[in-house]
Structure 1
C-alpha cells in the first residue's frame, strides 16, 4: 500500500489550531457515516426493492476504499497533502449524494463504491498529516485525539441514524452529511495549502496495479457468489486466480499456510475481521427481519458493540503498561477463544435459540475481546518489523482487514440473495463467520517466529 513520504525538518512549528479542528471534524464525519450506514441498510434494501444487492452495499464500499487509499497516497506523494485531502473529500461527498438520491439498489451500490474511494483516502489522512505537519512532541496527543474521535460516532451513530431514518428518511443519513462536509473541508484543506512545500515522491506506483487487481478480482468473486449460473462459476474461478496473483505483491509469502511470525499475524487479523465485522454487516438485517426489532433497537446493539470494542482497546493498553509486551501472545490466544464464544451466543440469540438479551451479552463479549486481541496482535506485528517497514506493514494490516470484511459481506449477501428462506440464509451466513473465527485460534499459536 502506498504511503506518504516526507522530509521532516529539524524544528517543525506547531500547525494552526484550525488544522487540528478540521482534521478531527473530518474524522468525525467519516466515522459517523461508517457506523451509521449498516443500521439503515435494511430499510434501504426494502425501499429500493434490492435485497439481492444487500451484500454489495457493504462490499463495494470496502473494496473501493482499498483502492482509494492507494490512489490518494500516490497523489499526496506527488502533489501534496492538500490536493489529496481535497480530492478525497470531494469524491466522498459525491458518493453521499449518489447514494442519497439513488432511485434503485444498483445505483445505491454505485454511490457506495464512490464513497469508498473517498473514504479510503480519508482513512489514511490523519496519519499522513500528523507525520508531515506536527512536531514529534505533538504527535501522540493528536493520535489519541483521532482515536477518541471515533468513540462518539460509535456510541451515537447507529441509534441517531436509525432515528433519522424512521423520523424522516434513510436518504437524509447520506445527503445530510454533504453540507457538514462543505463546512468542515476548508478547515482541513486550507491549512494544508500553507507552510511546508509538497512532499516529493520517492518511487513509482508499485502498489497501484496490485491493489486494482485485488479490488477487481475480489469483486468478481463476490458477484460470482451472488449468481446461480455458469457465468457465476467463471467469475469465482477468475476472481480467485486474480486475488492470488495480486496478493503476492501486497502481502508476505506463507500466509495461506500460516507461516510463523508476520504471515500468521496478518491471517489472524483477517479472519478475526471476517468473523466479527462480517457478522456486524448482517446483524441489523437479521434482527429486523427475524426478531422484529426496529432500526433503532438494532442500532443500539451496534452502539454497544462499538463502545465495548473501545473499552477492550483501553484494557489492552492498560495491560501493556502493567505487564509489558510479553503478555500480548497470551491475551491474543484467550481473546480469540472468547471471541468465538461471544459470537456463538450472539448467533444463537439472533436465530431465536436463546433469549434476545443473549445477543447483547454475546456481542459485548465479542467486541470486548476483539478490542483486546485485535490491538495486541497489531502491536505484536508492528514490533516484528524495523521502523522503515512500519508504513508498509500498516498498509498490509489495513488491506487484509478490508479485503476479508468485503468477502464476508459478499458471502452473507449472496446467501440472502439466493436462498428463499431468510432464516436458513442467516443460519448459514453466521455459521460461516463462526467457522472463520476458529482460524485465529490456530494463528495465535504461530505468532512467534522460530529461533
Structure 2
C-alpha cells in the first residue's frame, strides 16, 4: 500500500460554524443517552417486570448499531451526508419514543434495538463529516472537540438521569430527548445539503447491507454463546465466531486479521484498543465494589475521571498534530497505546490487591489519557486513507470494528464472571484485556509514516 495521502488534492472550503455546532450537539445528546441508560435500566426492568430481558436491553442496542453504522455510511455515500444523518437522527428519535412509551420489557428492548440502529449511524457520522468538510489541518482539532462532547455527559449524565427518574419518571430520560433532537437537527443537516456524491468504485453500495446484517446476527450468537453454559453455548460460539469471520471479510479491507499495514492495521489497532479499554471499563466498577469494597458511587468516580482524561488526551494529540504534523501519527499511536497498556496493568494490580487501592485512580487516568492520544491519532491516520467518495463507508468501518470488539469483550467478561469465582474471573478478564492492549501496541508498529 502506498504512503497515505489526503482524500482529495483540492483544498476544502471552510465549513460553516453551524455544522460544527450542530454536529457536537448531536454527539452530546447521543452521549447523554448512552451514559444515562445504565442508571435507569434497573428501574425499567423492575417496573416492567422484565429482569430476564435485562441483558438484552444493552445487547440489542449494541448489535443493531453494527448494522446502523453501515446503513448510515451507505446512505451517506450514495445520497449525501444529509440523507445519512437525517435517517439516523429520525430512527434514533423513534427508538427513544418507543423505549420511553414501552408498556412491557419486550417493547422496551425493541425500542433499544431501534435506538441502536440510529445511534450506529450517528456514531459514524463525525468521521464522515470531518473527512468530507474539514481540511487536513482542522481534523485533529475537530475530533478532539467531538471527544470533548462526551465529557459533560460522562460527568453529569448518570446524576441527571437519576434525578429525572426520582422526581418524574425514567420514561422522561428517553422521550424527553426527542424535542431537543428536533431543535438541533437542522443545525447539523442544513450545512450538509448538496448534490449526491459520485459513489466510488469500491464503495460496495447496498451490497454491504447483507454482510452487515450477518455480522450483527453472528456477533449476537457469539455473545449469547459466551454467556450460555453447556453444548448450546459452545455451538453458538462456534457458529457465531465463524459467522463473524466470514461476514467481516466483506465489510473490512483485506489483511485486517494479519495486520497488513496501512488502513487494515489502523482498523485492527482501533478494535484491539476498544476491546482493551472499553472492555475493562465494563467490569471495572463491579470489580472495585466486589473485591475492594468500594461503593458504586466511588467506583463511578473512577470512570468519570477516566472520561475526563480521555478528552484531555484527545486535545493533547491535537496539539501534537499541529506541532509535528501527520507524519507523527504512527508514533503517537504507539505512545498512546503504550500508556494505555501500562495504566491497565497498574489498574488491574490495584483492583486485585497487588497495589494499594488508591493507585487505581492515577492508573485509570493514565490508561484513559493514553487512549485519548492513541485512539484519535489512529482515527486521523485512517481518515487520511479514505478513497474519494468512500468516507461514509470508512466511517462505518471505524464504528463497526469498535462496536464489534466491545461486544465481544463484554461477552467474554460476562461469561467469566458468571462461571468462575469472582477474584479468578476478574483476574482472567483483566488478563484478556491486557493481551488485547499489548497486541494493539505491537500492531501499531506496522502503521507507516504518512507523507
If the length of structure 1 is used for normalisation, what is the TM-score? 0.80
Gaps of 5+ in 1: 1-9
Deviations 1:5-31 (A, max 9, x none): xxxxx99998695x7655443221112
Say which is worse superposed, 206-215 or 62-71, in terms of deviation: 62-71
Question: Counterparts of 2:55 and 2:386 in 1: how far apart (Å)?
Answer: 36
Q: 1:107 to 1:362 in 2, by over 3 A?
A: farther
- 1:301-380 mapped onto 2 (5 Å cutoff): 301-380=302-381
Matched with 2:436 is 436
Deviations 1:294-348 (A, max 9, x none): 4433332222111111111222222233233333333333332321110112122
Q: 1:96 to 1:390 in 2, by over 3 A?
A: closer
Matched, 1:161 2:162: no
Deviations 1:63-90 (A, max 9, x none): 2112112223444566776665454334
Question: Counterparts of 1:54 and 1:336 in 2: how far apart (Å)?
Answer: 33
Matched, 1:403 2:404: yes
Question: Counterparts of 2:103 and 2:432 in 1: how far apart (Å)?
Answer: 32
Matched with 2:8 is none
Partner of 2:93, secondary structure, is: helix
Instruction: Measure how far apart 1:183 and its partner are.
Output: 3.5
Matched with 1:5 is none
Matched, 1:151 2:113: no
Partner of 1:259, secondary structure, is: coil
> Is the CA contact (8 Å cut-off) linking 1:35 and 1:157 kept in structure 2?
yes
Matched with 1:66 is 66
Question: Counterparts of 1:215 and 1:239 in 2: how far apart (Å)?
Answer: 10
Partner of 1:346, secondary structure, is: helix
> Is the CA contact (8 Å cut-off) linking 1:16 and 1:191 kept in structure 2?
no
Question: Counterparts of 2:443 and 2:188 in 1: how far apart (Å)?
Answer: 44
Say which is worse superposed, 245-254 or 258-267, in terms of deviation: 258-267
> Is the CA contact (8 Å cut-off) linking 2:70 and 2:209 kept in structure 1?
yes
Matched with 2:422 is 422
> Is the CA contact (8 Å cut-off) linking 2:218 and 2:240 kept in structure 1?
yes
Q: 1:237 to 1:46 in 2, by over 3 A?
A: same
Matched with 2:243 is 242
Say which is worse superposed, 267-276 or 328-337, in terms of deviation: 328-337
Partner of 1:206, secondary structure, is: helix
Deviations 1:112-148 (A, max 9, x none): 322211111222345656788x7x78x9879956753
Question: Counterparts of 1:336 and 1:285 in 2: how far apart (Å)?
Answer: 24
> Is the CA contact (8 Å cut-off) linking 1:39 and 1:295 kept in structure 2?
no
Matched with 2:214 is 213
> Is the CA contact (8 Å cut-off) linking 2:76 and 2:392 kept in structure 1?
no
- 1:89-108 mapped onto 2 (5 Å cutoff): 89-97=89-97, 99=99
Deviations 1:392-416 (A, max 9, x none): 4333222211211111112112223
Matched, 1:222 2:223: yes
Question: Counterparts of 1:327 and 1:267 in 2: how far apart (Å)?
Answer: 19
Gaps of 5+ in 2: 1-10
Q: 1:70 to 1:174 in 2, by over 3 A?
A: farther
Q: 1:439 to 1:11 in 2, by over 3 A?
A: closer
Matched with 1:262 is 263
Partner of 1:252, secondary structure, is: coil
Question: Counterparts of 2:445 and 2:91 in 1: how far apart (Å)?
Answer: 42
Question: Counterparts of 1:261 and 1:144 in 2: how far apart (Å)?
Answer: 23
Matched with 1:175 is 172
Question: Counterparts of 1:415 and 1:305 in 2: how far apart (Å)?
Answer: 24
Say which is worse superposed, 223-232 or 331-340, in terms of deviation: 331-340
Question: Counterparts of 2:356 and 2:256 in 1: how far apart (Å)?
Answer: 39
Question: Counterparts of 1:173 and 1:155 in 2: how far apart (Å)?
Answer: 20
Q: 1:174 to 1:244 in 2, by over 3 A?
A: farther
Partner of 1:207, secondary structure, is: helix
Matched with 1:6 is none
Instruction: Measure how far apart 1:369 and its partner are.
Output: 0.8
> Is the CA contact (8 Å cut-off) linking 2:78 and 2:205 kept in structure 1?
no
- RMSD between aligned alpha carbons? 3.9
> Is the CA contact (8 Å cut-off) linking 2:60 and 2:116 kept in structure 1?
yes
Question: Counterparts of 1:326 and 1:143 in 2: how far apart (Å)?
Answer: 13
Q: 1:25 to 1:338 in 2, by over 3 A?
A: closer
Equivalent residue in structure 2 for 1:184, among 175, 181, 197: 181
Instruction: Measure how far apart 1:273 and its partner are.
Output: 0.8
Matched with 1:122 is 122
> Is the CA contact (8 Å cut-off) linking 1:89 and 1:122 kept in structure 2?
yes
Instruction: Measure how far apart 1:149 and its partner are.
Output: 5.4
Partner of 2:355, secondary structure, is: coil
Question: Counterparts of 2:139 and 2:265 in 1: how far apart (Å)?
Answer: 31
Name the count of aligned residue pairs.
436
Say which is worse superposed, 218-227 or 147-156, in terms of deviation: 147-156
Matched with 1:33 is 33
Instruction: Measure how far apart 1:365 and its partner are.
Output: 0.4
